[in-house]
Amino acid sequence: MKFEATLPTGHTITMDSDEKVGGNNEGARPYHLVAVALAGCTGMDVLSILRKKRQRVTAFTIDIDAEQSEDFPRVFRKIWIHYTISGHNVDPAAVERSIELSETKYCPVMANLKKDAEIDTAYTIHEAEDS
């Protein structure tokens, strides 16, 4: 069941299913890629906005967890996004506003998923050590 998708950028993504349903476990599951797309979309928004707000971010990670419905097509029903930002004197208000803008204005992946899923966001800020 392995598929390779070539994106308009020329990059490729390999997808497959696990052995239980006829695949060979040789690629990402398509529904995992939806979560990855959400992380990438909102992450790029948030980091870009923080940079425009002149926040000194030194590290940025996103963790996503999702709950799918039991019935097919097993859509995402609940998604949790946790942003972890490290930097120097990062303003919590700037982080909150950046997340809000991504959620409500900029991220098309989030806009699509919000139609079926409840999305909760949280963040943690860590003060970076001086180097």
| Topology annotation, domain 29-127 | GMP Synthetase; Chain A, domain 3 (3.30.300)
3-state secondary structure the chain: CCEEEECCCCCEEEECCCHHHCCCCCCECHHHHHHHHHHHHHHHHHHHHHHHCCCEEEEEEEEEEEEECCCCCCCEEEEEEEEEEEEECCCHHHHHHHHHHHHHHHCHHHHHHCCCCEEEEEEEEEECCCC
Q: Is the pLDDT of residue 131 over 70?
A: no
Could you tell me the residue ranges of all domains in the chain? 29-127
pLDDT tier at 129, thresholds 50, 70, 90? confident
52-99 pLDDT, tens digit each: 999 999 999 999 999 999 999 999 999 999 999 999 999 999 999 999
Mean pLDDT of the chain: 96
The whole model's pTM is what? Answer: 0.91
10-43 pLDDT, tens digit each: 999 999 999 999 999 999 999 999 999 999 999 9
